[in-house]
């Protein structure tokens, strides 16, 4: 495969290969010199048309740990603000010899457009497009769940994952539903009816409006940010009402099975979908997810750019 646009592009074997490779990459972070020479001479461009903290920084760290050259491009402050198109921006990157373009864009479908164009020969990695998909977020989430719930080398067969909140605007939810079901997990979405997308009935998951009923059987509960910037007032109950019905507080966290983890992709609205007590508790993996994002993105960059070998079987043996 040359591009990563959707979690639906990944078979179970593809996903397990990425997760297993990410485990090997995580070992690099424990070494005194946290670098591999694997992508020396390659150029990775972070092309961000929308704001990001975690995704942009972790792709940059991942590419640098693989010894790639990294160019960070933010639409703010570039010629995009003068009206330059995605095509002309892509042609500019092609002229600079980009080997991979990590694209975050406010329009759903922009990474697909770029990957299927003849504007650029680089691999395209979707770093979040509109309300559509965020496949590397789903991979790092699956990596985190696997470590806590089923063990390295295994899939998520039989695990129950509950995703709560603003599903309507969430590219994280869609990618997670696709990837988690590919890995054998059962997924339940919990949201107010106005924050569920049309057609959710065709997604490979269950839907509930009763968070308390679902928590008792959840192995992982993933709280989503309420995306006020994409919201029409008509969709949304009051903040207080939302927190009361769909927020995770200490009482609700206590109803989870003892082994269950609380996840959040970030950024969080503390006091809305999650209380500070839960966000700061040892059961919340939000910070660990960020660290796992670097290993997971190293694995994706390595597998897309590093060559034709099926896996990174000996990263620890590559001289630093
Ligand atoms: N989870 C996530 O995509 O965060 P950023 O928007 O900060 O990249």
Annotated binding-site residues for L-aspartate read: 82, 171, 225
d(CA 312, CA 318): 10
Q: Which atom of ligand 1 is nearest to the CA of 50?
A: 6
Distance between Cα 266 and ligand 1 center (Å):
6
- Dig out the tokens for 285 from the structure: 């993996």
| CA atoms lying within 13 Å on the CB side of residue 53 | 7
Distance between Cα 297 and ligand 1 center (Å):
13
Identify whether the C-beta of residue 72 lies closer than 8 Å to the C-beta of residue 56. yes
Annotated binding-site residues read: 54-55, 82, 104, 134, 137, 171, 225, 266-267
Active site residue 134: yes
Q: Which atom of ligand 1 is nearest to the CA of 55?
A: 8
Cα distances (angstroms) measured from residue 208 to each of 145, 201, 205, 215: 22, 11, 10, 11
Angle between helix 54-65 and 135-145 (nearest 10): 80
Q: Which atom of ligand 1 is nearest to the CA of 134?
A: 3
- Say if residue 267 is preceded by a cis peptide, omega within 30 of 0: yes
Active site residue 53: no
Per-residue pLDDT 10s for the chain (320 aa) are 799 999 999 999 999 999 999 999 999 888 888 899 999 999 999 999 999 999 999 999 999 999 999 999 988 888 888 888 999 999 999 999 999 999 999 999 999 999 999 999 999 999 999 999 999 999 999 999 999 998 888 999 999 999 999 999 999 999 999 999 999 999 999 999 999 999 999 999 999 999 999 999 999 999 999 888 777 766 677 888 999 999 999 999 999 999 999 999 999 999 999 999 999 999 999 999 999 999 999 999 999 998 544 334 443 333 33
Phi then psi for residue 147, to 5 deg, are: -60, -40
- State whether the beta carbon of 52 lies less than 6 angstroms from ligand 1: yes
Domains of the chain, first to last: 7-133+289-317 (3.40.50.1370), 135-285 (3.40.50.1370)
pLDDT of residue 110: 97
pTM greater than 0.90: yes
| CA atoms lying within 13 Å on the CB side of residue 47 | 32
Active site residue 104: yes
């Amino acid at each position: 495969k040359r591009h990563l646009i959707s979690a639906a592009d990944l078979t179970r074997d593809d996903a397990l290969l990425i997760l297993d490779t990410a485990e090997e990459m995580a070992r690099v972070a424990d070494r005194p010199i946290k670098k591999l020479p694997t992508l020396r001479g390659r150029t990775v461009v972070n092309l961000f048309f929308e704001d990001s903290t975690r995704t942009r920084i972790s792709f940059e760290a991942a590419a640098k740990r693989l010894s790639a050259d990294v160019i960070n491009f933010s639409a703010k402050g570039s010629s995009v603000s003068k009206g330059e198109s995605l095509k002309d921006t892509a042609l500019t990157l092609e002229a600079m010899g980009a080997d991979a373009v990590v694209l975050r864009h406010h329009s759903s479908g922009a990474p697909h457009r770029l990957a299927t164009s003849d504007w650029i020969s680089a691999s395209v990695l979707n770093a979040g497009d509109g309300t559509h998909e965020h496949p590397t977020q789903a991979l790092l989430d699956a990596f985190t769940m696997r470590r806590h719930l089923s063990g390295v080398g295994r899939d998520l067969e039989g695990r129950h994952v509950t995703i709560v909140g603003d599903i309507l605007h969430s590219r994280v939810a869609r990618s997670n539903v696709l990837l988690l079901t590919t890995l054998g997990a059962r997924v339940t979405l919990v949201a107010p009816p106005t924050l569920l997308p049309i057609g959710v009935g065709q997604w490979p998951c269950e839907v509930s409006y009763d968070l308390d009923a679902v928590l008792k059987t959840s192995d992982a509960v993933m709280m989503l940010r309420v995306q006020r910037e994409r919201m029409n007032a008509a969709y949304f109950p009051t903040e207080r009402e939302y927190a009361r019905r769909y927020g995770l507080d200490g009482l609700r966290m206590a109803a989870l099975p003892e082994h269950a983890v609380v996840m959040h992709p970030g950024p969080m609205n503390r006091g809305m979908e999650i209380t500070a007590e839960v966000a700061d508790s040892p059961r919340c993996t939000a910070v660990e997810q960020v660290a796992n994002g670097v290993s997971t993105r190293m694995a994706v960059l390595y597998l897309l750019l590093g060559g034709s070998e099926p896996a990174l079987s000996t990263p620890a043996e590559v001289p630093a």
